[in-house]
Amino acid sequence: MPALFIILIAALVAIREHPEKLLSWIVLGLLAAVLPFFRSEMVLLFIPLAVWAILVTPARQRLRSAACVVLAFAAPLSAWVIRNYLIHGSFLLTPPVKWYAAWSGLGQVPNDYGYETSDYLAGIFLKSKGITQHTAQSEAHFKAEYMSAWLEHPAHVLETIIFRFKLILTAIDLSIANPKIVDLAYYLFWVMLCSTPIALIWLVSKRRWSDAFLVALPAGYAVCSLGLLYVEQRYVRYASLSYLIAFPIFLAAVTEVPSHVLNKWGATQARISMTVVATLAVGALAAYSINFLPALRQMAVEAAYANMREPHSMEILPWTGTLDDFTLHKSIPDVDVSKSADGLELSFTAKSGSYLLAAPMHNGPGDFVHIKYKIVLKEGGLGIGVLSKDKARWLSFRLLSGAPGTAREGSFYMKAEDESSLIITSEKSEGSYRAVFKDLRWKIACPQGGTPEPLLLIFNKDFALTGPCLQNQVE
């Protein structure tokens, strides 16, 4: 979705140069119609498209341009509605989950009213009433529940909306294991976030309405669509595009301030002031670089290590844990584990997303882990990943799914955190699971030979030598 939104913004900028061409507006509408097929809330894009046509088209052609882009946007969606009627017998544009999403959003803030965000619990509740989930009947039920929430608990409904607005505008979705890179990303994110209101005020003060619209579009659309219903960070990654677009505009606004001030001074005052400002800027940059460049260099080295794929220096190391000698700790009580000639067989009943088995890897904070697996799926799907010590986030994760009898084989190499755990999860099914582990092993290694130069790592992955981590070996 972020990539599609970038393409959409580029198209909006391009059409601003030639707004008089009706064909361009038709192409824009057809291009934008692709987005609803990825995220159903994008069906409302016809509103900003019409607004854009009014902003950038000459006055006499505004209505015609807006009509062309909206009709072109609606054409593929209308065809999809007709297709659904011919196949399913009902006119549906989006899945019947809108009111369920609105009701589920009420559970995003802790409450005592029975509102939940669990699809599993919602399915059980509907089943007890004889209603099938994700149907017209379930939508009617959740619509009534949501409307009742406004009447009975309006303060809570508003609290959930504010929670989602804050999540969309101030949260960043990262899946990076390196804490230094995470800290740097958050720092840059907040710098750009705080600069966005200043950039918007500056654009509005100069009556650059279309530029201000482009800056506000990603974040504004996310807030006005999913912000009112239900949101997860992965749904609205595109919202941060507003901050990326606004930051260079903020820099342009800042550079105008000295010129306005200096124009009122004499030549001597201007030269002295500029010299003082330049000296302070150079001093601040030097002081910052002394502390920042070593950290940046270390991040580059760690990123190079983390992105290696099965380096030769690690192939000779022994496996630290295998199916024969490591202990699997049951995470839920109804998991049956038995060994056979085919391997380790697991059978269990659980809901999707449950932690089934956990194995501590006894690794240190600077260790690298190579994990290898071969699993035959008998019923349901599995997930295999490495979880942080505090169980707060995945450091790496693989989804293993397929038809019964499918064999999934692979490996992954990553930098782990201190005392990480190997976790097996249930995925893609509700009920019974069964799988045979033919192979599951890992090895732990540490960087050897000091810290290499980051530029050398770009051209030679084997320059990042690894060796045994003697201090972490378990007797």
- Per-residue model confidence as pLDDT tens digits over 131-176: 877 777 888 888 888 899 889 889 998 999 998 998 888 887 776 5
Per-residue pLDDT at 311: 54
Q: Do residues 50 and 73 lie in contact, with contact meaning Cβ atoms separated by under 8 Å? A: no
Per-residue pLDDT at 261: 58
The mean pLDDT value for 438-463 works out to 65
Both tokens of 73, joined, read: 């946007």
Q: Which residue has the tokens 């966005």?
A: 196
Question: What CA–CA distance (Å, rounded) separates 188 from 355?
Answer: 34
Residue 299 has pLDDT above 70, yes or no: no
Per-residue pLDDT at 33: 93
Percentage of residues of the chain with pLDDT beyond 90: 17
Question: What CA–CA distance (Å, rounded) separates 130 from 426?
Answer: 27
What are the angstrom distances between the C-alpha of 6 and each of 2, 34, 215, 221? Answer: 6, 13, 12, 14
What are the angstrom distances between the C-alpha of 235 and each of 87, 139, 346? Answer: 29, 21, 34
CA gyration radius, the chain? 28
The mean pLDDT value for 442-464 works out to 61
Nearest to 348 by CA among 422, 439, 437, 426: 426
How far does Cα 457 stand from its chain's mean position?
Answer: 28
Q: Do residues 443 and 414 lie in contact, with contact meaning Cβ atoms separated by under 8 Å? A: no
Question: What CA–CA distance (Å, rounded) separates 333 from 342?
Answer: 24
Give the helix/strand (H/E) hosting 262. helix 241-262
Question: What CA–CA distance (Å, rounded) separates 371 from 433?
Answer: 23
Q: Do residues 318 and 470 lie in contact, with contact meaning Cβ atoms separated by under 8 Å? A: no
How far does Cα 23 stand from its chain's mean position?
Answer: 35
Q: Which of 115-119, 231-235, 327-331 has the lowest mean pLDDT?
A: 327-331
The mean pLDDT value for 285-311 works out to 56
Per-residue pLDDT at 474: 42
Question: What CA–CA distance (Å, rounded) separates 137 from 97?
Answer: 11
Per-residue pLDDT at 67: 93
The mean pLDDT value for 68-80 works out to 92
Per-residue pLDDT at 265: 59
Contacts 24+ apart (CB under 8 A), 34-39: 34/4, 35/1, 35/4, 35/5, 35/8, 36/77, 36/93, 36/94, 37/80, 38/1, 38/4, 39/1, 39/235
Dmax over Cα atoms in the chain, in whole Å?
90
Per-residue pLDDT at 264: 61
Residue 106 has pLDDT above 50, yes or no: yes
By three-state DSSP, how is residue 139 classified? Answer: helix
Higher-confidence residue of 433 and 293: namely 433
Which residues, including other chains, have CB under 8 Å from residue 470's CB and lie 6 or more apart? none
